[in-house]
Amino acid sequence: MFKPNEFQVQLFEEIFGSTKGKSKITQDLMGVLGCSRASLYRKRTGSTPLTADELVKLANHFSLSIDALRINTEENAQIVVCTTMPPIKQYSDIDFYLENTRKNLELAVQQPDAQLYFTAKELPLYRYMDQPTLSAFRYY
């Protein structure tokens, strides 16, 4: 069975297993991720998830193939990738954002036993829509 942070733990095991100086690699990881020792520990144990940006930074810095680290690829064979949306500058951009999100979600739910994992720097726009006061503040 797939565990959400199993891949993350495996990634850090690969990084630490490929080097001999554990204290040097810890300092290196803190520099690459721009985080404290405590934050790195939480990321390493899987209690705090890595963002997509952090995952790419680690893969590039340590020359790791993210795809090669995947286990049980037959269980996770169907992957739907949602791309980054352009910045919202006009009201018509909001319609485009919502419509594109709806289409991507429709593709995902067509897969049997689909699971959706969402990673973003900020909360998605539609999370504010049921709270008028909060959305007015957010859009300001």
Name all domains of the chain by residue range, CATH numbers in brackets: 6-69 (1.10.260), 91-139 (no CATH)
What does the mean pLDDT of the chain come to? 77
Please list, in sequence order, all residues whose beta carbon lies within 8 angstroms of the beta carbon of residue 54, skipping any fewer than 6 positions away: 33, 43
Report which listed range, 30-34, 46-50, 102-106, 132-136, is most confident.
30-34
Is 90 exceeded by the pLDDT of residue 140?
A: no
Q: Work out the average pLDDT over 122-134.
A: 74
| Residue 59 amino acid letter | A
The three-point CA angle 131-135-136 to 5° equals 120
pTM for the model: 0.51
Q: Work out the average pLDDT over 36-54.
A: 88
pLDDT of residue 37: 92
Rg (CA), the chain: 18
